[in-house]
Every structure is written in structure tokens, then in C-alpha cells.
Amino acid sequence: MIDLDGAEEVFAASVDGTVGIEEEFAILDPQTLDMVPRFEELFDAAEPELQEHVTGELITSEIEIVSGRGENLADAVARQSEARRRLFAHVARMGGRLGATGTHPWADYREQSNVDTEHYRRVVDGLGYAARRNNTFSLHVHVGVQGADRAVRTCDRLRPLLPLLLAAGASSPFVDGQDTLLHSARTETFTRTFPRCGVPDAYGSWDVYRDYIELLVRTGSIVEYTQVWWSVRPHFAFGTVEMRICDVQATDIESDALAALIVGLIEQAARDVAEGVPSDDLPNRLIEENLWRAIRHGMDASFIDFATGEQVPAREALERAAAWAGVDPSFPERNGAQRQRAMLAEGASLREAYASIVDETQRTYGRATPTS
């Protein structure tokens, strides 16, 4: 099931700068905003044009929309915007709503059913509690990078930026009916519990990465490539570098801005690899220091600048990264986690804060006009 020679061929044929966007949503009861297991019903009733862009995830109360391959960022965003419009209209006609935060604030994971496919049966049987507990919702962005060796080296260079991307898009302060005091409870629920997840090692070459995958296969650790859940990884089937660190975003504007930043960072890292720009591979223990700051404080954090040994406010670090990538994404003053936490501070209940965010999601993702 893992064809490494075939993966090399896929990367050899890949085109730099193609883009794919994937967004995961909670399926909600419109009155209570509880999660409800309606994926199969919604999928079966969807028009063929929508079905092409809809897929299931781990639980039946989750639905994912995918852009497919865009020739560039603008093309991918246009495709995704149309898929969003169709999906939100369809769900509304079917008497449902969709939520877009990294975790559902009060759903009981023990009450969620899993999608009945061979892949997800393997995940649940293999991981047990870790899989059952993973009721989370993400934004994934793929960018085409030609050459397997270059893709691996591009992933290496993106490792120190993982905490910043997590902070920029943090949207999950609540889980299990609690204010966790975190900005991304999703990261604790998923990234910290799944194997082969979070910050990967710096592999340095395709040959080293291939040796690692072959070891996992030979020792019975994995049977599918998708069982390697690193927060940034070379994707064997698409010939892309896939960024997987981010919570799903509450609004389309935020999602498009985060996608633009991710695409810019991946493309710049890939250019640097091609041009032989020197780069130091930080050890995981240092990146993890910033990752915890992102989980705990999100955009309210300061990050360690390991070149100077000093702290840098998250907003300044974000501006530096965007400038390096040559992009100017339009982020709101406060991200999803900050807005939800502010509502609590002003006296709203957890349910009222979530209801407000769900309203934002319906107003924006369902609009007919693309935002970028």
C-alpha cells in the first residue's frame, strides 16, 4: 500500500505552486448546536458537483470540503469558495448547520460514531482511545513541490514556523465543556496524542526519509502512508508539501488569509532549497518550546527568537514571516481563540460564545463571492 518508487515518480512529475485546500467542519443541530452524525445523509443527498468536493473524516458528525488541485492559490481559493457556497446551502436545506472551530466546546467524544471505512476502522482499532478522543477540525493546505528530495528539505525548513502558524490560526479554547485556558485545545487533543504527529525530525534528504518510512513498514508500524501524521509532511499521492498544523478557521476571510501565508511560506522555502540558501535545523526541543507557547497563548504569546535568544511578540513574528514569504495576508485584529476568550471575559457563557462563532461561520463561508 506504500509505493515509495511511485512516490518518487509523483514528485518528479509535480508542478511547483499548485495548491489544494481542505477544511473540516462539525455537523450541528441548528437549535442546540450539538454535533450530530449526519455525514452519510448529507453526502448521499448532495448534487454530484458538490460530492466531488466532499469527503468523510474520522467521525460521522464531521464533513470535509476540498478544493481539488488549483493551478495556483487564486484558483484553489476560487474552487474552495464555490465548494463552500454549495456545501453551506446544501446543509441549510437539509436542516443543519456547520461549525468551524478546532474543537467542539462541549461534545462528548464517547457519543460520536466513527466513519465505517477500512482506513478509519484501521485508525480506531490501531489507536484506541487516541483515535476516539480525536474529535477535532483542521485546515490543511497542499503546495506542489517538484522533486522528492526537495520536498523533504522544504519540510525541514518549515519546522520552526509550525508554532507561528498554529498561533495565527488558533481557534479552539474550549473542549469537554471547559475553558481549557489554551488557545488550541485541538493540538493537545490530536497532535499530542497521535503517534508520528507534531514536529517532525529534520531528515535532510529523501533517502533518509525513505529509510524511515521503510523501517515503519518493515516493523509493522504503518501500512498506509497517511498513518504518518506529521504537522508538515511530503504527501506521496499528490506530490505536495502538506501543512497540517492549523485549526479550522471560523470565517472564510481568516481561512483564505492563513492559506495565503502557508502557500507563501512553502513556496519561499522551496525556492531557498533550490537556490542552496543555507539553513540550520533547529532541534525539536527548541521548536517545542515555541509550540507550547502557541498552544497556550496563541497570538497573545511571545516566541523565542533562537538566533538572538530574545523573545518576539507573536504579531511581530507573523509580520516577519509574511515579509520573508513575500505575502501580505489580511488577518483580523483578533483570531478565533482570542474572540471567543474575549466573549467569556465580557460575561458570555461558553455556549453563547460558540453560538456567536457559528453565526460568523454561516455568514461568511456561505457567501457567493470569493474573498480573494
273-318 tens-digit pLDDT: 999 999 999 999 999 999 999 999 999 999 999 999 999 999 999 9
Rounded average pLDDT over 53-74: 96
Assigned domain for 112 exists: yes
Task: Note the pLDDT of residue 370.
Answer: 47
Q: Is pLDDT above 50 for 327?
A: yes
Assigned domain for 370 exists: no
Assigned domain for 331 exists: yes
Task: Note the pLDDT of residue 244.
Answer: 98
Assigned domain for 250 exists: yes
Task: Note the pLDDT of residue 369.
Answer: 53
pTM comes to: 0.96
- Give the domain range for residue 88: 4-365
pLDDT band at 368 (very low <50, low <70, confident <90, very high): low
Assigned domain for 196 exists: yes
Helix axes of 336-345 and 350-365: crossing angle, nearest 10 degrees? 140
Assigned domain for 372 exists: no
Q: Which residue has the higher pLDDT, 319 or 114?
A: 319
Residue 50 and residue 90 in contact, taking contact as beta carbons nearer than 8 Å: yes
Assigned domain for 357 exists: yes
Task: Note the pLDDT of residue 116.
Answer: 83
pLDDT band at 51 (very low <50, low <70, confident <90, very high): very high
Task: Note the pLDDT of residue 28.
Answer: 98
C-alpha cell recorded at residue 240: 505536495
Task: Note the pLDDT of residue 120.
Answer: 83
Rounded average pLDDT over 18-34: 98
Q: How many domains does the chain have?
A: 1
Task: Note the pLDDT of residue 190.
Answer: 94
Please give the mean pLDDT across all residues of the chain: 96
User: In the chain, pLDDT over 90 holds for what percent of residues?
Assistant: 92
> Nearest Cα to 238, choosing from 53, 23, 6?
6
Rounded average pLDDT over 235-241: 97
Inter-CA distances, 21 with 10, 16, 88, 225, 302, Å: 19, 15, 17, 19, 29
Assigned domain for 371 exists: no
Task: Note the pLDDT of residue 119.
Answer: 83
Pairing of strands 229-230, 62-66: unpaired
pLDDT band at 209 (very low <50, low <70, confident <90, very high): very high
CATH of the domain at 22: 3.30.590.20
Torsion, CA 158, CA 164, CA 165, CA 168, rounded to 10: -160
pLDDT band at 228 (very low <50, low <70, confident <90, very high): very high
